[in-house]
Structure 1
């Protein structure tokens, strides 16, 4: 079957990638590109990419194709109710706030003056989660 210009260009592009990766030296690259552009059939293009990784057609490849990753749960599910206690799980955000507060206190104490209370920014997710828990509680009480 006759090869088209796009087929020859695709092979030349793959050869250029192999040259850029250091898999081909300049002389071998030049020789293969000339053969690719002079190819009239697919048979003429065979063998130009066979010894380069990632360029073997999938049906002839020895490696299996990587499975696509499983979808990740949407972010709003990170703060859902805990199935064991029925309460919102904001303990990890509260723990992060407390750890940051301890770090702030130690650094302020060791320097001899109080720094800006930056852990207040870490408190924002805790407050948002607590408000959400109160809202759900009121909704459930109705």
Structure 2
């Protein structure tokens, strides 16, 4: 019976899995892969993997790296926002100290609303 491209790709995936598990070398893999794509029938495909154990690709765990656990603390973007807020408050406070120390503390209008918005975003914002 004639094999399709999908059948050849499935056998190639099986060979990749056997190579990853160390059953065949990279050179053997390349030789067998050439045989796979030259195969026209199921019998020829079966001969390529006859000396290898059965592999069910659906049962294999995905080789996608697991996401790293979220680091404790703030999201990097939120850290940047707090850093910008702190810088702006520091600059306006220095200007206030140099120009009107002891007078009306106008930097509160920079620090207060912006800080309140950041605080709400930090507490109720999502992880990303």
The answer, yes or no, to whether TM exceeds 0.5 is no
Shorter-chain TM-score bucket reads 0.3 to 0.5
User: What TM-score comes out, normalization by structure 2 length?
Assistant: 0.41
**Greater relative CO (CA pairs within 8 A, separation 6+):** 2
User: What TM-score comes out, normalization by structure 1 length?
Assistant: 0.37
